[in-house]
Amino acid sequence: MKGKATSFDIAHLTGVSQSTVSRALRDSPLVSEETRRRIREAAEQLNYKVDKNASNLRSQHSGTLALLLFEDPTADDSHINPFFLSMLGSITRACALRGYDLLISFQQLSYDWHADYADTKKADGIILLGYGDYLAYLDKLQKLVAQGTRSIRWGAVLPDQPDVSIGCDNYQGGQAIATHLLEQGCRRIAFLGDASSHYPEFFERYRGYAATLQQAGITMDPALQVDAAESTEQAGYNALETLLERAEPFDAVFAASDLIAIGAMRALADHNIKVPEQVAVAGFDDIPMARFLNPPLTTVLQDTKLAGETLVDNLLCLIRNEPVETHLLPVKLVVRRSSQFSQPADHV
Amino acid sequence: MKGKATSFDIAHLTGVSQSTVSRALRDSPLVSEETRRRIREAAEQLNYKVDKNASNLRSQHSGTLALLLFEDPTADDSHINPFFLSMLGSITRACALRGYDLLISFQQLSYDWHADYADTKKADGIILLGYGDYLAYLDKLQKLVAQGTRSIRWGAVLPDQPDVSIGCDNYQGGQAIATHLLEQGCRRIAFLGDASSHYPEFFERYRGYAATLQQAGITMDPALQVDAAESTEQAGYNALETLLERAEPFDAVFAASDLIAIGAMRALADHNIKVPEQVAVAGFDDIPMARFLNPPLTTVLQDTKLAGETLVDNLLCLIRNEPVETHLLPVKLVVRRSSQFSQPADHV
C-alpha cells in the first residue's frame, strides 16, 4: 500500500462503511463491540494513526449534502422533469463516490426553507436545483448566504447574484441551435419558451438565439415567440397551438426544452405538419428519450454527469473553505433528423 | 376553518415550513426571534393548542426517511437505471407531500450498511431498493430487522423473508406477456434475463412466462433462455447475440426489462431482423422511453407513482407501530407495435 493508511483502507479491509470506521475509532456505542474490535485490529495491522484534528473536524460533520429541489410537489403531473431526474441521479452518484449521503428536500418557493438549514447540522452544505421564478426566491437566497450556509446553485450566472452558481452555457446553446437552423436554410424560426428575467436559463437560450438571427440580418418578429413557462409536453403543445393561431408563417421551431419540443411535435403531427420536411424542430437538454423520438430530436446536450460532479466537488470546496468561482459548463449541439430538412427524407 | 388548527395551518399562515413551526413552538434558538414571534401570534390567532405528547414524540423524530439504493456507484455506465430513477422521483415526491425529507444513500451490497442506521436517528425508517443478488445481502437484512430498524423493501415476496416487502406482481406480468405473445401466434418465445433465485424479480417474470407456455402445451427449450444479469442495453445486446449464435429458431423475445429489450432490438436491427414482422419483442417496466421507440415497445407497466406512495405510506405505518403486510401491486400489460406481427405492417 502506498502512503499513509486512511479510514477508507480500514473500511475496505473490514467490509464496513467509512462512517462506521470513524465511529468505531471514536468508541461510539452505536457500533457493536465485536465490530469495534475488528476495526481496531485492522487499524493496528495497517499502522493507522488517528489524526485528532481531522477526527474532531469530521465528527462535527454530517457526512451529508442536501439537495433542495424547487418544484411544486403537488403538481398534477406526477413525474419529475426528466432533466432534473437525470441531475438527481448524477448528484446522488457523485455524492456516493465521495462518501456522502444526499438529503433531498422538495421545497415550495414561497416557504421559508432557508431557515431549515441554519445551524441544524442536517447537512454540511446545500445544492439548489429547480425551475421556478428566480426573482421570487432571490431574497431567501440572500438570507441563506448571509447566515453562512454553504450553498451552490445550478443555474444561470446573473448580475449581482448573492451566491456561487454553476450552470451550462445556455447562451452558447441558443447560438448553436440558431446557427444550425440557419445553415439548414430556415429563416422564420419560432421560439417556444418564456423569455424574461424570471426564468434566466430560458432567457439565456432566447438571447443566444436572438443575437445569432440578428447577426444574420434577420429582423426579429415578436409573433414568433410564445411563452411556455412550464417545461412540460402540455405547455409545448399549447404553445404550438398558439403559434398556429397567430397565422404567421414559420419554418422552424426552437423549443426551450426537449419536453416543450415533444409537445410541439405532437401538435404539429395533429395538424399534419411534417417534421422535418415542413418544419424543422430543435429542443434543449438531450433527455434520454430525445434520441428515440420519431424523428429523433436535434437538441443541445447538457452533460448531467459532469454537472452533478462539478456541483458536488465545488460544494465540498466551499465546505473546506477553499475558493470557488461561479462558472458555466460548455454545451454540445446534437444534430438529429428533426432539423435536417435539406436532407432527403427516409421514405423518398 | 374546520376542526382543530394544526402546525401545518400555522405554517401555511406564516409562510414557513412545518418543521420551523415545531421548532419555534419549542422555543428553539435555531429560529430567529422575529420568526418565533410571528409564529406565536399565528398560533394564538388560530387558537392552536400544543399537544405536549405529540410534540415530545415529534421532537424525537428526524422528519426524514432514508432510501438505500443497492447499485454499484462505480459502474462505468454513469446513468442510473431509468426504472430506479423513476422510483427515486416518485419516492421523493411522496415524501415531500407527507412532510418528510429523503436521505439517499448508495450502498455496496458487500458493505456493513445496516450498522449505519442502528440508533443513529439519521432517519425514522428505511426503504431498500435495488437490483443485485438478494442472497448476497439477506444476512444483513436479517440484522437490520433484528436491531429494530423500521424498514420496507421493494421487491419480490420470498419464502421466510425477514422483512416487510412491497413489489409488483412480476409473476402476473410474465403471464400477461406470454399470453399476449401466444395470442399473436408466437410459439418459440425466448427469454432474455437471469432466471435464478439470486434475482427474484426476474425469476418471477420467468416463472409466470414458463407456466403460461407449459399450460399452452409448449415444451420449454433451455436454448431459448439467455442470462442477462444486468439490466442494461449492452446486456440485452449481448444476450440477443448469444441467442443468435445458438442457431435455434425463435419468433419472439421476452426481455426481463425494457433496457434489455432496447439492446435486443438494436442487435436484431444490426442483423436485419425486422421487429415485429420477423420477431415480436416485449419488455418489462414501461420506462418513459418505451413508447417512443421505433417500433414502440410492448411491455408491462409498473406504476412507479403508486409504488413510491405505497412504500412511503407503509413505512410511515411501521414507524407509528401500525400493522403492515407484505403485498404485491398489480401490473398492467401495455401492448404496442413491437409485438403485433399479426397486424399489417405500416409500410405495406
Give the pLDDT score at A239.
Answer: 97
| Contact across the interface for B73 and A64, Cβ inside 8 Å | no
Which tops the pLDDT comparison, B42 or B271?
A: B271
**A8-37: average pLDDT:** 78
Rounded Cα gap, residues A238 and A227, in angstroms: 10
Domains of chain A, each with CATH number or no CATH: 7-59 (1.10.260.40), 64-167+303-329 (3.40.50.2300), 170-302+334-339 (3.40.50.2300)
Radius of gyration of chain B, Cα coordinates, nearest whole angstrom = 25
The pLDDT tens digits for B305-326 are: 999 999 999 999 999 888 898 9
Expressed in percent and rounded to 5, the helix, strand and coil fractions of chain B are 45, 15, 40
pLDDT category of residue B265 using cuts at 50, 70 and 90: very high
**B178-200: average pLDDT:** 93
pLDDT category of residue B82 using cuts at 50, 70 and 90: confident
**Residue B278 carries which side chain, given as an amino acid letter?**
Q
Predicted confidence (pLDDT) at residue B181 exceeds the cutoff of 60: yes
**A31-48: average pLDDT:** 83
DSSP B78: -
**B283-298: average pLDDT:** 93
**B179-203: average pLDDT:** 92
Which tops the pLDDT comparison, A326 or B110?
A: A326
Which chain B residue lies closest to A116 (C-alpha atoms)?
B20
Which tops the pLDDT comparison, A156 or A5?
A: A156
Judged by a CB distance cut-off of 8 A, whether residue A74 touches chain B is: yes
Which tops the pLDDT comparison, B284 or B161?
A: B284
Rounded Cα gap, residues B265 and B288, in angstroms: 17
Which chain A residue lies closest to B305 (C-alpha atoms)?
A78
**A269-282: average pLDDT:** 97
Nearest-CB residue to B113 (from A17, A85, A90): A17
Give the pLDDT score at B234.
Answer: 92
Give the pLDDT score at A212.
Answer: 98
Give the pLDDT score at A109.
Answer: 59
At how many degrees (to 10) do helices B18-25 and B52-59 cross? 110
Nearest-CB residue to A85 (from B14, B85, B112): B85
Rounded Cα gap, residues B231 and B244, in angstroms: 20
The pLDDT tens digits for B93-137 are: 889 888 888 998 877 655 666 666 655 567 889 999 876 677 777
* Exposure b/e, B75-84, CB count within 10 A at least 16 = b: eeebebbbbb
Predicted confidence (pLDDT) at residue A334 exceeds the cutoff of 90: yes
pLDDT category of residue A120 using cuts at 50, 70 and 90: low
Range among A3-17, B33-47, B212-226 with highest mean pLDDT value: B212-226
Which chain B residue lies closest to A118 (C-alpha atoms)?
B30
Report helix, strand or coil for A79: coil
pLDDT category of residue A328 using cuts at 50, 70 and 90: very high
Question: Mean pLDDT, chain A, as a whole number?
Answer: 84
Which three cell numbers mark B285?
A: 417496466
Which chain B residue lies closest to A73 (C-alpha atoms)?
B93
Contact B226, B188 (CB under 8 A): no
Give the pLDDT score at A116.
Answer: 64
| Contact across the interface for B79 and A89, Cβ inside 8 Å | yes
Give the pLDDT score at A283.
Answer: 98
Give the pLDDT score at B341.
Answer: 66
Contact B53, B300 (CB under 8 A): no
Predicted confidence (pLDDT) at residue B61 exceeds the cutoff of 80: no
Peptide bond into A222 cis (omega under 30): no
Predicted confidence (pLDDT) at residue B348 exceeds the cutoff of 50: no
* Exposure b/e, A30-41, CB count within 10 A at least 16 = b: bbbeebbebbee
Per cent of chain B over pLDDT 70 is 84
Nearest-CB residue to A292 (from B69, B93, B292): B292
Predicted confidence (pLDDT) at residue B84 exceeds the cutoff of 90: no
| Contact across the interface for A116 and B20, Cβ inside 8 Å | yes
A contacts of B80 (beta carbons < 8 Å): 89, 92-93
Give the pLDDT score at A35.
Answer: 84
| Contact across the interface for B93 and A115, Cβ inside 8 Å | no
Peptide bond into A295 cis (omega under 30): yes
| Contact across the interface for B292 and A289, Cβ inside 8 Å | yes
pLDDT category of residue A137 using cuts at 50, 70 and 90: confident
Judged by a CB distance cut-off of 8 A, whether residue A113 touches chain B is: yes
Strand locations in chain A, DSSP E? 64-70, 101-107, 125-129, 151-154, 164-168, 189-192, 225-226, 252-255, 280-282, 299-301, 327-329, 332-334
Nearest-CB residue to A97 (from B74, B95, B120): B74
pLDDT category of residue B56 using cuts at 50, 70 and 90: very low
- Least confident span in A203-207, A261-265, B175-179, B292-296: B292-296
- From chain A residues 266-325, the ones with a CB under 8 A of any chain B CB are 288-289, 292-294, 305
**A94-99: average pLDDT:** 85
**B21-43: average pLDDT:** 78
pLDDT category of residue A32 using cuts at 50, 70 and 90: confident
Name, in order, each residue with C-beta under 8 angstroms of A34's C-beta and a sequence gap of 6 or more.
Answer: none
Residues in chain A: 348
Least Cα distance to B293 among A179, A75, A293 occurs for A293
Residues in chain B: 348
The pLDDT tens digits for A278-317 are: 999 999 999 988 998 989 999 999 999 999 999 999 999 9
Which tops the pLDDT comparison, A330 or B34?
A: A330
Predicted confidence (pLDDT) at residue A171 exceeds the cutoff of 60: yes
Nearest-CB residue to B15 (from A89, A111, A116): A111
Q: Is B120 exposed, middle or buried (0-12, 13-18, 19+ CB in 10 A)?
A: middle
